[in-house]
Amino acid sequence: MTKALQLARALVPELSPSLHKGQAGRLGVVGGSKDYTGAPFFSAMAAMRIGVDLAHIICEPKAGDVIKTYAPDLIVHRVLDQNAPIEEIHQSVDDVVSRLHVLVVGPGLGRDDHMQACAGAAISIAKKRDIGLVIDADGLWFVNNNIDAIKGYKKAILTPNVMEMKRLCEKLSINPDEMKEEDIASKVSELLGGVTVLEKGGVDRITNGSKTLTVDASGSLKRCGGQGDILSGAAGTLLAWGSVYAKGIGSDKDIKVPHEDIPLYAAYGASTFTRECSRLTFEEKGRSMITQDMLKNLIQAGSFIEYATFSNNYYDIDAQGVKIIKDKHQNLQPTFVFLSPPSIDSLARRLVKRGSETEESLRSRLDAAKGEMEYAQTGAFDYVIVNDDIEQAYEKLRKVALGEGTESDILPDNRIA
């Protein structure tokens, strides 16, 4: 797993009974006009399937009537009424945005004057509320005509495709013919004052002007409409989680993400996630693939944010995660290392001494450990390292990480004396 992907994963909040509804992400989508109802649905439902707690759609009334029939899980606000004064719409949007961690602006928005004015109001409100912004599709049309509305707002992610990138370059007086292709997105970000740009293409480029990441993983060969909406929902989800992370929820992980780089790694994770989802869907559906098919593959595609659950607690990738990767993501070709306690008895003593377990949770932890050791005995792991001496175990793990290899240890008996 790349360092960038580890940093993206670090934004994901661990599920916990101590969290309340909404603490694992509240997202809004501004979009949905009389002609376009699918795009905001795909964006918001992707966010729900990936893992936000709540997803709102702020849309035109007739679009809202249709979107409400798609899924009862989404909260639909029919407030972008073309017959209402913009001041009234501004207040209605602000009432919703005040509850959110992130706002996605653009899916199915349309380019008429009224909906573009609504986009401007939404962007202004999000900036005032100091929340994350993802701007896609017709939201980028607004930005292209109102560059100053987004310039310097570093909590924003723009997701331009080839034509949208071309328009931005023209607006910013960038001549792509005079630059290396890999430097164009970085220049756009620089001139926008450090806004994160996710340039979609054969290779996705993600940059905040000072750092640039690329994603070239295989995706779908079928370019059906709506995949960009899935990406906007994924980017919004990770950016919402980044907001939660910045407030201290989940920030106690070993890997630390600089707060100023949260949009960068959120966009990187979203790109990786969406490409994997589209690849899995294309493998299944081929030429007949539509975006609706991607929704059910969002869980499979999310192996990079998997957390296995034991005793109602959540942990990083373990034997259960290994099974998921071996079954569904063989193309990743990772090296699997199993870290084993010297014995189940020694593990039990460690846990009792720590004092963090109830009698029931201790029994569950030991049962889970025995199951993992049984799985390791099947030869599923490339290396087994027994942690009976922390310095020796570290040295062996270091050699494996550096590609030097090491002699695998013998698994201990997993029976309790």
Binding residues: 108, 161-167, 200-204, 219-229
Q: Rounded CA gap, 350 and 137, in Å?
A: 54
**Would you tell me how many other CB atoms lie within 10 Å of the CB of residue 293?**
19
List the one residue out of 214, 226, 330, 233 whose CA is nearest residue 278: 226
Which three-class secondary structure state does DSSP give residue 337?
strand
Kindly list the distances between the CA atom of residue 406 and the CA atoms of 298, 336, 377, in Å, as whole numbers in the listed order: 36, 13, 18
Indicate the SS3 state at residue 122. helix
Annotated binding residues for (6S)-NADPHX = 108, 161-167, 229
Closest CA to 40 of 73, 63, 72: 63
Measured CA to CA, the distance from residue 120 to residue 150 in angstroms comes to 10
| Residue numbers belonging to the annotated binding site for ATP | 200-204, 219-228
Residue 369 CA to residue 96 CA, distance in Å, equals: 45
Cα separation, 26 vs 247, in Å, equals 14
Report yes or no: 64 and 44 within 8 Å, Cβ to Cβ. no
Q: Helix 344-354 to helix 359-376 angle, to the nearest 10 degrees?
A: 150
**216-234 per-residue burial string, b: 16 or more CB within 10 A, e: under 16:** ebebbebebebbbbbbbbb
